[in-house]
Amino acid sequence: MEHVKTIQAKNQKQLACKGGCGECQTSCQSACKTSCTVANQKCENLENK
Amino acid sequence: MLHMFKRAGMNLVLDVGSGAIHVLDAPAFALLEVVDEAAMRNGQMGELPKELQKTYGQPALEDAFGELCALVHEGLLYGDDDYREFACALGPAPVKAMCLHMAHDCNLRCKYCFASTGGFGGKRALMPFSVAKQAIDLLVALSEERHNLEVDFFGGEPLMNMDVVRQTVDYARSIEKDAGKNFRFTITTNGLALNDDTIDYINQEMANVVLSIDGRRKVHDAMRPLVNGDGSYDVILPKYKKLVAGRDKEYYVRGTYTRDNTDFDQDVLALFEAGFDQISVEPVVGPPEDAYTLRESDIPAIEESYARLMEELAERRKKKDGDFNFFHFMLDLENGPCAIKRLKGCGSGNEYLAVTPTGELYPCHQFVGNEDFIMGDVTRGITNPAMKEKFAQANLLNKTECATCWAKYFCSGGCNANNYNLCGDILAPHELSCKLEKIRLECAIALQAAVLLREN
């Protein structure tokens, strides 16, 4: 494309069909620890790659 | 829903529903501001404002329109934003993480401490091994089919109870194989009591270690004095450097910024110059009346700090020189969490519990000391399942104010404790925190975009 560069094209909603295994790290959003947004975590479900 | 913004000279679009991120040139960005979703679904651009035609010319606008329509049809622009079908996956879940308050005591006197310099408003106390052992057993029992279990050694200052930390790790390791579990230990420390022995131990056993340090010496020492009032920077820095030099696992140096250092980008760079490449700084958590607590009027200065840091990191990555990891800009666009995780958020009170030195269970460390939130204890387990249910329901779908927010699938409704402590309701997002979250997310997205565009 000439006018648009897409830098992330995975549809997050579609990924959910293999998601929800719960094996990922908890994502404490409290600033008194290190506030994870969930987005900086890795998925630990190999099926979800 | 779309979020359109400009950072670092780029026109960026986040498609909230799909999570797709696009960088647009000027005509496409201008077009997207005036053409609605229906027009793109129908492929009918309609008549455009004359000013737009004059600036970019009809052919460029038509080309851009065609590209935008293609993204709409691929589900990457105005993608489906209805995640209610996943509601059934958001109820009470196995517990997979515990925060053990090894010491309700501390050897520093940090002025901004939310834990009342360690005691959490109660008596100073150390967790005995008997309580820690029961906590480990309870975690295994409540974890059901979960394999990966996290135990965070927290305080106060957990190094004040290091013997019990070691006993607890030994005990968990002794049962994990038969229990079919994998324990990951983390520890958060102010560094004061580190010695060669504890450094080696932490580097061997702890999957992650969070090392508290605020950045520049004067900033650190102003907020983090020793009991005698002297600064603690020169005591801890050599210990942290030694720990990091011998480490092959994750770590963070972690600072707090207050309204006294809204130019915290200088603290981040000072931490890098001091020898660290995994750096986190966080906004102070405190009551609105305290002098150091951030206010609405501090936001422009904070935004400038984040923006300067983003541009600095983009430049360093371009030059492949002096790069470091800044926690607030971490975004895993390729292998990030699934949508269900994004809806669930932190899991406090549901998948995550805090344990006090005397064995009470709380939804998380931030609720400790507020007895209304006691959920049970390590002997009897969860005696207040209604509380667990309440926290399980504190997911994104039930945080109604988040429904129209573009950042919702990145922040998942924020920190429940912050919501409760500042807004009186775990479901009510704290406005100032939301604003800071959005600034850091825009900068994180822009940094990724800048690097990816250059690589491609």
Interface confidence, given as ipTM, is: 0.88
Contact across the interface for A7 and B22, Cβ inside 8 Å? yes
- Exposure string of A6-39, with b = 16+ CB inside 10 Å and e = fewer, is bbbbebbbebbeebbbbebbbbbbbbbbbbbbbb
Give the CA count within 13 Å in the CB-facing half-sphere of B111.
20
Q: What is the pLDDT of residue A21?
A: 85
DSSP B152: E
DSSP B223: H
Q: Which residues on chain B are in Cβ contact (under 8 Å) with A41?
A: 332, 336-337, 341
Give how far A47 is from chain B: nearest CA, Å. 11
Rounded distance between C-alpha atoms, residue B123 and residue B335, angstroms: 44
DSSP B395: S
Q: What is the pLDDT of residue B288?
A: 81
Contact across the interface for B337 and A24, Cβ inside 8 Å? yes
* pLDDT value at A35 more than 60: no
Q: E strands of chain A, at which residues?
A: 4-8
Rounded distance between C-alpha atoms, residue B201 and residue B407, angstroms: 39
Summarised one tens digit per residue, pLDDT across range A8-32 is 887 777 666 566 788 888 777 555 5
Rounded distance between C-alpha atoms, residue B128 and residue B104, angstroms: 12
B109: helix, coil or strand? coil
Distance of CA B71 to the CA centre of its chain: 31
Judging by DSSP bridges, how do beta strands B360-362 and B352-355 pair with one another? antiparallel
Q: Is B348 on the interface with A (CB under 8 A)?
A: yes
Give B 128-147 residues with CB within 8 A of chain A. Answer: 146-147
Q: Which residues of chain B have pLDDT under 70?
A: none
* pLDDT value at A41 more than 80: no
DSSP A42: P
Q: Is B340 on the interface with A (CB under 8 A)?
A: yes
Distance of CA B323 to the CA centre of its chain: 21
Contact across the interface for A30 and B285, Cβ inside 8 Å? yes
Rounded distance between C-alpha atoms, residue B251 and residue B268, angstroms: 15
For residue B177, give both structure tokens.
């194989």
* pLDDT value at A37 more than 80: no
Rounded distance between C-alpha atoms, residue B128 and residue B168, angstroms: 10
Q: Which residues on chain A are in Cβ contact (under 8 Å) with B256?
A: 31
| A44 or B54, greater pLDDT | B54
* pLDDT value at A34 more than 60: no
Q: What is the pLDDT of residue B419?
A: 93
Give B 7-46 residues with CB within 8 A of chain A. Answer: 17-25, 27-28
Summarised one tens digit per residue, pLDDT across range B57-74 is 999 999 999 999 999 999
| B52 or A38, greater pLDDT | B52
Give how far B290 is from chain A: nearest CA, Å. 16
Q: What is the pLDDT of residue B116?
A: 76
Contact across the interface for B415 and A35, Cβ inside 8 Å? yes
pTM (predicted TM-score): 0.94
Q: What is the pLDDT of residue B16?
A: 95
Looking at chain A, which residue has its C-alpha nearest residue B87? A20
Q: What is the pLDDT of residue A24?
A: 83
* pLDDT value at A42 more than 90: no
